[in-house]
Structure 1
Amino acid sequence: MADYYSSFEPKGTRWLLQRLTAAFLVVVLAFHFMLLHFVNHAAEVTFMQTNLRMSQPGYFLTMVAFLVTATFHGVNGVYNALVNQGLDGTPKTVVKYGLILASVLLVAQGIRVAMAMAGFIIGPAA
Structure 2
Amino acid sequence: MADYYSSFEPKGTRWLLQRLTAAFLVVVLAFHFMLLHFVNHAADITFMGTNLRMQQAGYFLTMVLFLVTATFHGVNGVYNALVNQGISGAPKTVVKYGLALGGVVLVAQGIRVALAMAGIL
> 1:99 corresponds to which letter in structure 2?
L
Q: Confirm whether residue 55 of structure 1 aligns to residue 55 of structure 2.
A: yes
The CA distance in 2 between the partners of 1:80 and 1:100, in whole Å, is 13
The answer to whether residue 71 in structure 2 is matched with residue 83 in structure 1 is no
Give distance in 2, aligned partners of 1:8 and 1:42: 39
Residue 65 of structure 2 corresponds to 65
**Any unmatched runs of 5+ in structure 2?**
none
TM-score, normalised to structure 2's length? Answer: 0.99
* Offset of residue 43 of structure 1: 2.2
Structure 1 spans left out of the alignment, 5+ residues: 122-126
Compute the displacement of 1:36 (Å).
0.1
The total of aligned residue pairs comes to 121
Is 1:99 aligned to residue 82 of structure 2?
A: no
When the two structures are superposed, what TM-score results if normalisation uses the length of structure 1?
0.95
Q: Which amino acid aligns with 2:6?
A: S
1:49 deviates by 0.6
How far does residue 29 in structure 1 lie from its aligned partner after superposition? 0.1
